[in-house]
């Protein structure tokens, strides 16, 4: 077995319940499935946490390269590699890949994207972790010393990188900010851990070089974390809040439509967007967990290039739906490079204050 594949063949990795961010992703996907779609391929479906909850009016095929992941699924399922999908061109009205393409190794990445487009007849939905700091989630193999991302993520996505997937016959229609809303203190904490080279441990981590599951971290001591928490509250953080704080992003692409001018300009037109209603009887029972009381509704902004940006109204602000985050209005084009440049001075400011606190406690 390839060392890179060993991670995905762990039975325990797939023995999980649906998480809160995945519930939100599920609702946002189902609410925005384009009209006319009947057949869906869920490529890289994992253990089917989303696949098997798609309403029954859609004919769904689940595909993953890990037999351990899909062996218990009740729907039509296929074991195959995304770089060589065993389907004819235009086989499915919609192909979706949820939290998948960040895992694809560089030598297969372009091939996988091309295969997804080839098999899709009309639409492709791509969901990714949003603006993840890859260096904040690394561990080290105890056996060979290799340092790697605990979930084997190879790349991080922002709006700019999602739009870069567009081709002449493959255009983005919607960007949906989804998943959970992270506290800004957690985002800052991740950035600091990345800069300090903090390594983590995780029971399912598996080295891509030697397949060892023995990993080690060098986590900050509790005392230092306490001081970091104090520093967060002492400092003004409003200038980093132009960064979205959702942890997932969904992009809906249409195929074979007329290419648009992809210059990034905006119409500052913000208006309520009512989602396509999901039949009440088809709402899945997600393990008796707390569900939204009504179907998702969105605040939408439309760019002059024709892309809609959707922010779930219920999750944007439960008490006041009219309050729109600053980042949603002004910084849709925010990208990792520019954000990283702006945040450096802020983080160094935090670190200098942290070290002063530590010096004062000696």
Long-range contacts: 28-31, Cβ < 8 Å, 24+? 28/176, 28/178, 28/250, 28/296, 28/310, 28/312, 29/96, 29/98, 29/125, 29/127, 29/250, 30/54, 30/55, 30/278, 31/275, 31/276, 31/278, 31/295, 31/296
**Helix count (H) and strand count (E) of the chain?**
10, 13
* pLDDT for position 133: 92
Mean pLDDT of the chain: 79
Find the mean pLDDT for residues 198-223: 83
The burial class, CB within 10 Å (0-12 / 13-18 / 19+), for 270 is: middle
**Which of 71-75, 210-214, 280-284, 297-301 comes out lowest in average pLDDT?**
280-284
* pLDDT for position 191: 80
Estimate the crossing angle of helix 184-196 against helix 222-234, to 10 degrees.
Answer: 130
Q: Which tokens is 147 given?
A: 């340092």
Encode pLDDT of 294-342 as tens digits: 455 777 777 756 788 888 865 555 444 446 676 776 656 666 666 666 6
Q: Residue 19's beta-bridge partner residues?
A: none
Set out the domains of the chain in order of their start, with CATH numbers: 3-353 (3.40.50.150)
* pLDDT for position 297: 74
Which residues, 6 or more positions from 315, have their beta carbon under 8 angstroms from its beta carbon?
A: 24, 181
Q: Which of 138, 133, 134 is nearest to 240 (CA)?
A: 133
Q: Is-contact 150 216, C-beta < 8 A?
A: no
* pLDDT for position 284: 36
* pLDDT for position 343: 66
pLDDT higher than threshold 80 for residue 282: no
Q: Which of 234, 44, 209 is nearest to 128 (CA)?
A: 44
* pLDDT for position 270: 43
Query: Which position has the token pair 């492709």?
Result: 124
For the ranges 148-152, 179-183, 232-236, the one whose mean pLDDT is highest: 148-152
Encode pLDDT of 85-117 as tens digits: 999 999 999 999 999 999 999 999 999 999 999
Top-confidence residue, 299 or 67: 67
Q: Is 272 helix (H, G, I), strand (E, B) or coil?
A: strand
Alpha helices in the chain (DSSP H): 3-6, 20-31, 67-70, 106-119, 159-163, 184-196, 222-234, 313-316, 326-330, 336-360
**Which of 26-35, 168-177, 257-266, 304-313 comes out lowest in average pLDDT?**
257-266
* Residue 164: pLDDT band with limits 50, 70, 90: very high
Q: Residue 302's beta-bridge partner residues?
A: 308
Model confidence, pTM: 0.83
Q: Residue 59's beta-bridge partner residues?
A: 39
* pLDDT for position 2: 58
Q: Is-contact 353 235, C-beta < 8 A?
A: yes
DSSP 8-state assignment for residue 293: S
Secondary structure percentages of the chain, helix, strand, coil, to 5: 35, 25, 40
């Amino acid at each position: 077995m390839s060392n890179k594949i060993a991670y995905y063949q762990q039975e325990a990795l797939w023995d999980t319940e649906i998480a809160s961010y995945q519930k939100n992703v599920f609702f946002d996907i189902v609410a925005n499935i384009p009209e006319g779609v009947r057949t869906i391929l869920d490529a890289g479906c994992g253990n089917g946490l989303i696949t098997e909850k798609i309403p029954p009016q859609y004919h769904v095929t689940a595909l993953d390269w890990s037999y351990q992941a899909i062996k218990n699924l009740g729907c039509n399922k296929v074991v195959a590699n995304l770089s060589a999908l065993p389907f004819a061109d235009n086989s499915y009205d919609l192909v979706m890949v949820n939290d998948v393409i960040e895992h694809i190794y560089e030598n297969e990445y372009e091939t996988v994207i091309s295969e997804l487009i080839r098999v899709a007849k009309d639409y492709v939905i791509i969901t990714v972790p949003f603006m993840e700091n890859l260096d904040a989630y690394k561990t080290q193999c105890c056996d060979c010393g290799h340092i790697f991302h605990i979930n084997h993520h190879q790349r991080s996505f922002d709006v700019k990188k999602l739009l870069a997937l567009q081709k002449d016959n493959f255009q983005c229609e919607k960007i949906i900010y989804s998943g959970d809303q992270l506290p800004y203190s957690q985002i800052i904490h991740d950035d600091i851990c990345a800069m300090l080279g903090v390594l983590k441990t995780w029971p399912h981590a598996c080295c891509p070089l030697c397949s060892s599951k023995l990993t080690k971290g060098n986590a900050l001591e509790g005392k230092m974390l306490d001081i970091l928490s104090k520093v967060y509250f002492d400092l003004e953080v409003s200038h980093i809040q132009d960064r979205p704080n959702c942890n997932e992003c969904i992009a809906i692409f249409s195929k074979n439509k007329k290419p648009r001018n992809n210059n990034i300009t905006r119409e500052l037109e913000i208006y309520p967007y009512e989602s396509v209603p999901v039949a009440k009887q088809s709402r899945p029972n997600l393990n008796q967990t707390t569900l939204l009381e009504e179907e998702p509704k969105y605040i939408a902004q439309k760019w002059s290039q024709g892309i809609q940006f959707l922010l779930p109204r219920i999750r944007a602000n439960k008490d006041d739906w009219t309050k729109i985050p600053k980042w949603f209005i002004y910084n849709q084009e925010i990208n990792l490079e520019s954000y990283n440049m702006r945040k450096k001075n802020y983080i160094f400011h935090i670190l200098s204050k942290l070290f002063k606190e530590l010096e004062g406690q000696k």
